[in-house]
Amino acid sequence: MNASEPIGIAVIGAGYWGPNLVRNFQASQSFRLHWLCDLDVERARRVLGGYSTVRVTADLEEVLADPALQAVAIATPAGTHLKVALAALRAGKHVLVEKPLAATYEEGRQLVEEADERGLTLMCDHTYCYTPAVLRIRELLHSGELGELHFLDSVRINLGLVQRDIDVLWDLAPHDLSILDFVLPEGVTPVAVAAHGADGIGAGRACVAYLTLRLSNGAIAHIHVNWLSPVKIRTAIFGGSKRTLVWDDLNPSQRLAIYDRGVDVASPDELGDEQRRDILVSYRSGDMVAPALTEREALRTMVEEYARAITTKTPALTDGRSGLRVLELLQAASRSLAAGGTMIELNEGHMA
């Protein structure tokens, strides 16, 4: 591949998410969209419109045999990700996969190992990680501006579409778990997860769920996902030892607010003899700052990160391994849910 030429790409799947990928790859100077592949050819043609030069087919093998193609983007149901992505990797194509990376942890591991063996880029489209707000949160946590992370409290609720094949955990929690994986400072990882859920409408699967994660630095993360809420809320609070950050994704005028407010605890060495039996707690109440964010479509940033990973032959910010870590947490959460909320320990990338 000539580095100065656009990367030839195909989008596999023209359903819910596929059209968004088509639009962003067509708008990118880093890519040239050659194919749109879908079992429903007429649907694919409607996505492209009447004047597009992009070829349409229902035959994946025809797409993967095209020598002008260096990469694919897969937006098919999760149960098909292993088959489609493996075929693309074995055809020598770089692969971008819509979340989740695969239907199970073991399937995801197969994809990661296949990409590693062939020296190909495998990236997971964790779109929220590429929003200006989450990129800034990552920067603030990694730089230490918020201090050591003490807690995360995230709420993702709305009156949503009850899925037929997955519960609310697998539908909504991948967003929050991928964000957590993306923003955590180096060396801080989840070590255990517990999940509680309820099915109040008799759907046969959890429609409301709460996840609790213990982190390696002693912090706690709590995630609430819900299909049954009459109001839509997308908020997250990152509590640090220095400052606390509040993210309200539905407030375009102030998505982020950083509060210099919190609790300070004196260490025993700082206390006098008469105070050593007590812990001195003080409260600080400083300013609130709302950082200015440049609004940019997250998918556009994600597409350019895919191009960067391919051309530099370095891992993407949300590479296959990040997708695998999210799958591990989801699978552990499902085990906990089935066991009535038991805390499931995680051990170096494999569920204990």
Residue 95 near residue 74 (C-beta atoms within 8 A): yes
Residue 261 near residue 286 (C-beta atoms within 8 A): yes
**According to the model, what pLDDT value does residue 161 have?**
85
For the chain, the domain total comes to 2
Residues 167-193: tens digit of each pLDDT: 999 999 999 999 999 999 999 999 999
113 and 166 belong to one structural domain: no
134 and 104 belong to one structural domain: no
Between 27-31, 45-49, 312-316, the lowest mean confidence (pLDDT) is in 45-49
Residue 340 confidence (pLDDT) above 90: yes
**According to the model, what pLDDT value does residue 268 have?**
59
In a domain, 240, yes or no: yes
In this structure, what token pair is assigned to residue 276? 């050593």
Residue 286 near residue 260 (C-beta atoms within 8 A): yes
Q: Which residues make Cβ contacts (< 8 Å) with residue 168, sequence separation at least 6?
A: 160, 197, 205, 206, 207, 208, 209, 225, 226, 227
Residue 352 binned pLDDT confidence (cut-offs 50, 70, 90): very low
Query: Which of 128, 147, 163 corresponds to the end of one domain?
Result: 128
In a domain, 310, yes or no: no
**According to the model, what pLDDT value does residue 162 have?**
86
Residues 109-156: tens digit of each pLDDT: 999 999 999 999 999 999 999 999 999 999 999 999 999 999 999 999
**According to the model, what pLDDT value does residue 351 have?**
40
155 and 279 belong to one structural domain: yes
In this structure, what token pair is assigned to residue 87? 């075929």
In this structure, what token pair is assigned to residue 101? 């990376």
226 and 339 belong to one structural domain: yes
Q: What is the mean pLDDT of residues 202-224?
A: 97
**According to the model, what pLDDT value does residue 183 have?**
97
102 and 145 belong to one structural domain: no
In a domain, 265, yes or no: yes
Higher confidence at residue 262 or residue 225? 225
250 and 346 belong to one structural domain: yes
**According to the model, what pLDDT value does residue 269 have?**
61
Q: Average per-residue pLDDT in the chain?
A: 92
In a domain, 30, yes or no: yes
Query: Which of 74, 96, 128 corresponds to the end of one domain?
Result: 128
In a domain, 188, yes or no: yes
238 and 104 belong to one structural domain: no
Domain that holds residue 61: 7-128
339 and 190 belong to one structural domain: yes
In a domain, 138, yes or no: yes
In a domain, 199, yes or no: yes
217 and 273 belong to one structural domain: yes
In a domain, 322, yes or no: no
194 and 253 belong to one structural domain: yes
The whole-model pTM stands at: 0.90
Q: Is 157 left (phi over 0), alpha (psi -120 to 50) or beta?
A: beta
218 and 262 belong to one structural domain: yes
The CATH number linked to 336 is: 3.30.360.10
Q: How far is Cα 352 from Cα 78, in angstroms, rounded to an integer?
A: 24
% of the chain beyond a pLDDT of 90: 83
